[in-house]
Amino acid sequence: MKFTFDTSKAVDRLMKILAVEGTTGKEKKIGKTIVQLLREMGVASKSIRFDNASENIPLPTETGNLIVDLPGTIPGPRILLMTHMDTVPLCAGAVPILEKNKIVTNGKTALGGDNRTGCGVLLTTVATLLEQKLPHPPITLLFTVREESGLFGARFVDLSLLKNPEFAFNFDGKFAHEITIGAVGGERWEVEITGLAAHAGVHPDHGISATMVAALAMEEIYRTGWFGKIIKDGKEGTSNVGVIGNGKGGSAGEATNVVTDYVHIRGESRSFDVKFLKTITQTYRNAFLEAGKKISNHQGKKAKVQFHSRLDYRPFHLSEKAPVVAKGLSAVEQIQRQPICRTTNGGLDANWMVAHGIPTITFGAGQNEIHTVKEWIDLNEFLHGCQLGVVLATQS
Ligand SMILES: [Zn+2]
């Protein structure tokens, strides 16, 4: 299929949405801007809706996911084009600066190319379809909220509003020719260790040190090879102990002369293998519970250890022969690029879409050095992403 599209309008649109603040959980303004742009292109207002995901997300969230139905002009299976519209908190106040083939920041904030490049791809795709009256099957657009804080929009999306798409194409990444067909699953855990305070000089034996329980547990984890990058019997994963304190942003223990009575620790596990993922977390649980039994005071009293974990997102790995991947490979070839399939060690909205039963692959569209003040957008990749959007939307 041959088509051209207005690249300067595509860049203008991207500049416009980059200038609208919309950090994770605060997507109301960017949602409105996207709706306004869609209305200006001629998308009927009855086709544009926000779902009620924000009512189910366990963190304050200004608005639901934005879902748009574009009726097909030719018959065919419905496709879903998706992206997330939130940015990381470091993007607050971002001022995008257009250079020759790049968009950069003033160095004080991140830029928000993650993931306004994805929003730009979806908008330019719609604009091109409508302006050039390109024939296309029924299409659903999904702009999710709260991706950055835990993939919540995709997790709690109102599936009935998506109208049963057969395939989904997600835009969130660097290169237009890289097709992400799998991603790790993640669990988060937290442990509360409650010991007993005592004067560390006068009656140290009356105390039960929560910090020492934590230390013994972590020593066990480290010594047995379950910390950081983990390889066991051909299975791989990662783990981390991220936060140690009093659970309220303060330190665990406040004085050198008091046996520490309370420690709160948070960590995570990741793996492509959901069983191994659970094994990693279970190993942490056992280590903390066992360490709790090793330390007691003069009366034989021991610390109380409470360990909780939750699955953040499931891993997935699509076959390179899956029909959705075939569509992706063919689309990348049509824009004259050499496609490659890859997996990622980070979670994606695609993790939840696949868990919802919708085969989903993810493309990039020019993000670079995301989540840093050096973030920049490669406009060549962004425009390739836009081309890809149109090809995916029109291929049968
Ligand atoms: Zn992203």
Residue closest to 68 by CA, chosen among 82, 94, 88, 48 = 48
Confidence at residue 4, expressed as pLDDT on a 0 to 100 scale: 84
Residues of the chain with CATH 3.40.630.10: 7-183+315-394
- Residue-wise pLDDT for 264-290, tens only, equals 999 999 999 999 999 999 999 999 999
SS3 assignment, position 147 = coil
Walk across the sheet containing 376-378 and list its strands: 97-98, 102-104, 376-378, 367-368
Residue that the structure tokens 């003069």 belong to: 298
pLDDT, tens digit, for every residue of 229-263? 999 999 999 999 999 999 999 999 999 999 999 99
H/E element, 32: helix 28-41
pLDDT tens per residue across span 43-97: 999 999 999 999 999 999 999 999 999 999 999 999 999 999 999 999 999 999 9
Peptide bond into 115 cis (omega under 30): yes
**Rounded CA separation 240/222 (Å):** 11
Q: How far is the centre of ligand 1, averaged over its atoms, from the C-alpha of 86 (Å)?
A: 8
Give the tokens for residue 241: 């102990």
151 CA to centre of ligand 1 in angstroms: 10
The rounded Å distance from CA 341 to ligand 1 centre is 18
Please give the Cα distance from 209 to 302 (Å, whole number): 9
Domain 7-183+315-394 superfamily per CATH: Zn peptidases (3.40.630.10)
Q: How far is the CA of 228 from the centre of ligand 1 (A)?
A: 23
CA of 276 to the centre of ligand 1 (A): 26
Topology adopted by domain 185-313: Alpha-Beta Plaits (3.30.70)
Coil/strand/helix, residue 345: coil
Residue 172: closest CA among 127, 123, 117: 117
Distance 145 CA to ligand 1 centre (A): 11
Q: Which residues pair with 87 in a beta bridge?
A: 23
pTM for the full model?
Answer: 0.87
Inter-axis angle of helices 379-394 and 323-334, nearest 10: 120
Positive or negative, the CA dihedral 68, 71, 77, 81 is: negative
Q: How far is the CA of 96 from the centre of ligand 1 (A)?
A: 17
> How much distance in Å is there from the Cα of 154 to the middle of ligand 1?
12
Burial per residue of 251-261, b for 16 or more beta-carbon CB atoms within 10 angstroms, e otherwise: ebbeeeebbbb
Contact predicate 263/193, CB 8 Å: yes
Ligand 1 center from residue 211 Cα (angstroms): 36
Alpha helices in 210-361 (DSSP H): 210-223, 274-294, 323-334, 349-355
Secondary structure letter of residue 156 according to DSSP = T
Are 337 and 328 spatial neighbours (Cβ–Cβ below 8 Å)?
A: no
Contact, 179 vs 169, CB < 8 A? Answer: no
Stated as kind and residue range, the H or E segment containing 114 is helix 113-131
Distance from Cα 254 to the centre of ligand 1, integer Å: 38
* CA 202 to ligand 1 center in whole angstroms: 54
How remote is the CA of residue 372 from the centroid of ligand 1, in Å? Answer: 13
Report the separation in Å between the CA atom of 147 and the middle of ligand 1, taken as the mean of its atom positions. Answer: 7
CA of 329 to the centre of ligand 1 (A): 22
Compute φ and ψ for 278, nearest 5 degrees: -70, -35
Alpha carbons 139 and 391: distance in angstroms, whole number: 13
Tell how far the Cα of 99 is from the centroid of ligand 1, in angstroms.
23
Low-confidence ranges of the chain (pLDDT < 50): none
Distance from Cα 56 to the centre of ligand 1, integer Å? 21
What is the CA(49)–ligand 1 centre distance, in A?
22
Cα-to-chain-centroid distance, residue 6: 30
For residue 172, the CA-to-ligand 1 centroid distance in Å is: 5
Q: How far is the CA of 69 from the centre of ligand 1 (A)?
A: 23
Is the distance from CB of 199 to CB of 260 less than 8 angstroms? no
Residues of the chain with CATH 3.30.70.360: 185-313
Of 196, 203, 162, the C-alpha closest to 295 is 196
